[in-house]
A and B are shown apart, each in its own frame.
Chain A
Amino acid sequence: MKKYGKFAALVVVIVGTLIWLATAGIKENQTYYKTIAELNQMGDQAYSKRLRVGGDVSPGSIVRTAKTVQFLLVQEKLRLSVVYDGSDPLPDTFKDGSQALADGRMGRDGVFHASRVEAKCASKYEAKPGGRPAPAPVYPNKAASF
């Protein structure tokens, strides 16, 4: 059985290392999904955890500069102002009215600082009977709304 001892030892070492890698510092990698309502009820906890907050991007609220993008997330009556300061460009699906998930931390200033934003288009054709053609898209020219 001695040779199986060697195998067992190696297997334990490998699996042990992986478990250690998977669990050590996992708190740093965790993000909590919250709605805006839940976020408001979190109190001081809101400032200590990494959060992922979902909502609709309020139309017309997107303001872009070179380094940051500011926008309002809306969910029912609740609003949350968000500053995105991550390094990656925002996804193409991020635009007025799209559903977005902002990933980051709540600041003491009441603004949510996102380091990552995911977005998807609000579903469009919910079988609108005899639907009119969508209004012709306005090319967002050199205005800040881009």
Chain B
Amino acid sequence: MENIGALAVLLAFCLAIYAVIGSVVGKLRRNPFLILSAERAVYAVWFLVTVAAGVLVSAIMTGDFRFVYAAEVSNRAMPMLYKFAAWWGGQAGSLLFWSWLLSTYAVVVIFTNRRKHREFMPYVVAILATVQVFFLMLNTFVVSPFDMLAVDKAITAVPDGNGLNPLLQYPAMAIHPPMLYLGYVGFAVPFAFAMGSLITRQPGDGWIHTTRRWTMVTWLFQSCGIVLGAAWAYHVLGWGGYWGWDPVENASLLPWLGGTAFLHSVMMQEKKGMMKVWNMVLVSATFFLCILGTFLTRSGIVNSVHAFAQGSIGKYFVGFLAIGIAATSYLILDRLDYLKSEAQLESVVSRESSFLFNNLVLLASCFAVLWGTLFPVISEAVTNEKISLDAAWFNRLMIPIGLFLLILTGVGPLFAWRRTSTDSLRRNFMWPGIASLVLVGGLLAAGMRNFYALISFGFCLFVALTIIVEFYKGARQIAAKNDLNFAHAVVELTHRNTRRYGGYLVHMGIVLMFVGFTGAAFNLHRSDELKAGDSIKIGSYQLTVKDTHEGENDNYLWQNASVEARKNGEFLGMLNPEERVYKASRQPTHEVALRERLNEDLYLNFAGMNGDSVVLQSYVFPLVDWIWIGALTLIFGTLVALVPSKVKREYARTQVVGITSAVPAEARPR
């Protein structure tokens, strides 16, 4: 079996090289058969990588511990779901997973475009296949998942494996890596289209229209991946944090920031023919940040709690990045004339300008995160001392950046293209502005003194109101005109311009997430040693330790404490924080007990026993649930924006819908 797997990746590697050469030569020689054969080669690559993946997964599933990889990441007692997830639980397997996703994407791209974009599809194929060659090279020659355990030269098996890292044996964590990878890998497609169109100097913005949905779906996967990672950290790591500016977290955030900037700035190109160079740079930067993200996650170059997979693959990634960035820069510089802008900026208070600043700030934050993440590497290269920057540094930079982006979220979509009149500014922003000032005043009067929290709550209300007003105005018109009830009118309004109103929903999701982030300013924490019967008080809660229990099952041993929670004397329930020790890896994990409510979470961690006392860490996290609610809103909004608009072909009707403002609706779709 192992030979079939290894042979399959080797053949796939050769065929991927053929696909690169075949499509480029076929294009240059105008030989359609060669081009077609290159496309067929990509299908074959998918088949071979699927076979290889099948071999690996079945080895893990059936407990074939002759495979080094199976022995490293799985054991017999693990549930099936986690055995499957073990496919991407270690370095070799996760790189094979990358290859498989990429080849799947490539097949989908080639199939859906088999009759479209014939002028530059060969280059799209060649670029996707080049990336594929790189990853298959890693699979074949550097970190093969098909290595066998051997004594001298005889292949042997161990009786049982080490088991997947118990911290990863958690449902959200089983799907977090695939989500992130779907996002990472997906950006290869818009990148390949952009480059293909640049190489052949395509007129117009064909590549943007073709890849808009790709980009959004990819961005959606990245968003899900990041939020799942945060939810996992919050629920599993036992200290109640969801974000620690850890290098691996940053690695997932970087391409997301780049992708977010790209999604906004392509609108400038679609509507106004501006920022063409910028979009090329952004789509390339985002793609390379995805590669960098994989590299940071997989190489352990920067010290990190996450470094589940480590190895010496760093130099290959650095080489690939260097060559790729050099080639892309050359292409863009060589074809600057083709990327000329068709319009100019006119006013600081305009839609164009808000996009410009949105991009500037997103890119600045991207650069700041990159700088902070790579600081140990940079400082070691420059001063020979490895210096890292702590979370406080990231927070000091990113909180103001985040707040600035938040307010842009509110004002940007309401600015008109070209320039905005003072009149429309007042009409759109006066009431939301007054309402937020009242809120901030009220919070001040109630004794809140945290500067950033006050600003954040004020901005959140402001942005939320501007979005609600947009929906209300549009829906009221439709309801009156078509005699619909209001809820129906909201659906109708959204359906008529899904991009715009889906976008508003995404923005609303971001607002709700900021509400959740802001709650962190008011976290409470205490740590105590408690004997049975002892009570403590945290916030408005009284906690009493009742007793402890212990037991075991196939996979782990466990011990927990029963804690009674009361609020102002009223009984809320029993909470049972638990500690587990996994048998295969002999590693403890902590299962926190959580009482989740919209206003605040009560979060208990059982940190073990000291003599006959329970070491109990108790936390109160206000508003944290709004992060997850916001994330769901964001996902919903993105899905809405993916639905084709009802009035796509009857553009005139968008004017009839006529949002009551000086700006014709047609000029400001989102």
Contact = CB atoms under 8 A, between A and B. Distances in A.
Contact of A26 (B385, B393, B525): B393
Nearest to B588: A92
B387 A31 contact: yes
Given A30-B389, A92-B166, A92-B587, A139 B557 contact: yes
Contact of A32 (B348, B385, B528, B608): B385
A131 interface: yes
A7 B356 contact: yes
Contacts of B361: 14
A43 interface: no
Given A14-B357, A91-B237, A134 B387 contact: no
A47 B188 CA distance: 48
B657 interface: no
Interface string A72-116: 000000000000000111011101000001000000000000000
A30 B397 CA distance: 15
B170 to A, nearest CB: 12
Contacts of B165: 121
A93 B305 CA distance: 9
Contacts of A48: none
A28 interface: yes
Please indicate which of the listed interface residues A32, A67, A142 has the most CB atoms of chain B within 10 Å of its own CB: A142
B151 A29 contact: no
A141 B529 CA distance: 16
Interface residues of B, number: 78
A128 B583 CA distance: 19
Interface in B516-556: 525, 527-529, 550, 552
A56 to B, nearest CB: 15
Contact of A33 (B237, B304, B388, B392): B388
A124 B583 contact: no
Contact of B68 (A29, A121, A127): A127
Interface in B136-158: 149-152, 156, 158
B585 interface: yes
Interface string A20-36: 01100010111111000
Interface stretch (B286-294, B611-619, B633-641): B611-619
Contacts of B160: 133
Given A30-B387, A127-B149, A133-B159, A3 B348 contact: yes
A14 B589 CA distance: 44
A56 B581 CA distance: 20
A101 B238 contact: no
Nearest to A133: B159
B364 A18 contact: yes
Given A89-B605, A139-B552, A3 B345 contact: yes
B156 A130 contact: yes
A31 B150 CA distance: 43
Interface string B555-567: 0010100000000
Interface string B645-660: 0000000000000000
Given A89-B239, A131-B158, A137 B583 contact: yes
A29 B353 CA distance: 34
Contact of A64 (B357, B386, B579, B615): B615
Interface residues of A, number: 54
A31 to B, nearest CB: 5
B581 A31 contact: no
Contacts of B588: 92, 95
B590 A89 contact: yes
Contact of A7 (B348, B397, B607): B348
Interface string B355-395: 01100110010001001000010000000011111101100
B39 interface: no
Interface in B65-79: 68, 71-72
A26 B389 contact: yes
Nearest to B349: A6
Contacts of B150: 127, 129
Contacts of A67: 527
Contact of A66 (B400, B527, B581, B605): B527
A41 interface: no
B144 to A, nearest CB: 13
Interface string B146-185: 0001111000101111100111000000000000000000
Interface in B317-363: 345-348, 353, 356-357, 360-361
Nearest to A137: B586
A101 B300 CA distance: 14
B156 A18 contact: no
A138 B585 CA distance: 12
B133 to A, nearest CB: 29
A14 B361 CA distance: 8
Contacts of B608: 64, 140, 146
A118 B239 CA distance: 13
B303 A17 contact: no
Nearest to B300: A120
A137 B156 CA distance: 24
B110 interface: no
Contacts of A7: 345, 348, 353, 356
Nearest to A115: B390
A10 interface: yes
Given A22-B368, A28-B392, A29-B390, A129 B156 contact: yes
B400 A29 contact: no
Contacts of A4: 345
B149 A129 contact: yes
A144 B270 CA distance: 65
Contacts of A31: 387-390
Interface of B: 68, 71-72, 149-152, 156, 158-162, 165-167, 237-239, 241, 303-305, 307, 345-348, 353, 356-357, 360-361, 364, 368, 371, 376, 385-390, 392-393, 396-397, 400-401, 404, 525, 527-529, 550, 552, 557, 559, 579, 581, 583-590, 605, 607-613, 615, 617
Closest 10 CB pairs of A and B: A129-B151, A146-B608, A29-B393, A33-B386, A66-B529, A88-B239, A142-B609, A137-B586, A139-B557, A92-B589
Given A32-B385, A66-B615, 19 more contacts: A3-B348, A18-B401, A28-B392, A32-B387, A33-B388, A52-B303, A91-B305, A92-B166, A92-B238, A121-B585, A121-B587, A124-B72, A127-B149, A128-B158, A129-B150, A130-B156, A137-B557, A139-B550, A141-B559
